[in-house]
Amino acid sequence: MEYRELSVPGAWEITPRQFGDPRGVFLEWFKSAPFADAAGHAFDLEQANLSVSAAGVVRGIHFADVPPGQAKYVTCAKGAVLDVVVDIRVGSPTFGTWDAVLLDDVDRRAIYLPEGLGHAFMSLEDDSTVLYLCSAGYSPGREHGIHPLDPEVGIDWPTTARDGSPIEPQLSDKDAVAPSLAQAREQGLLPTQEDVDAYLATLRG
Q: What is the pLDDT of residue 49?
A: 98
End-to-end CA distance of the chain: 25
Annotated catalytic residue, options 62, 119, 144, 147: 62
State the catalytic residue, choosing from 3, 112, 119, 132: 132
Mean pLDDT, residues 20-34 taken together = 96
pTM: 0.95
- Predicted local confidence at residue 13, as pLDDT: 98
Is residue 41 flagged as an active site residue?
no
Note whether 53 and 123 are within 8 A (CB).
yes
Measure the CA dihedral 90/57/136/78, to 10°.
Answer: -130
Give tens-digit pLDDT for 74-121: 999 999 999 999 999 999 999 999 999 999 999 999 999 999 999 999
Query: What is the rounded average pLDDT of the residues 144-149?
Result: 98
Q: For residue 75, what are the CA distances in angstroms to 17, 51, 90, 173? A: 14, 11, 27, 25
- Give the residue-averaged pLDDT of 22-32: 96
Q: Can 62 be counted among the known catalytic residues?
A: yes
Alpha-carbon distance of 75 to 103, in angstroms, equals 6
46: pLDDT confidence band, cut at 50, 70 and 90? Answer: very high
CATH classification at residue 33: 2.60.120.10
Average pLDDT score over the chain: 97
Q: How many domains does the chain have?
A: 1
Full domain range(s) for residue 76: 2-204
Confidence of residue 205 (pLDDT cuts 50, 70, 90): confident
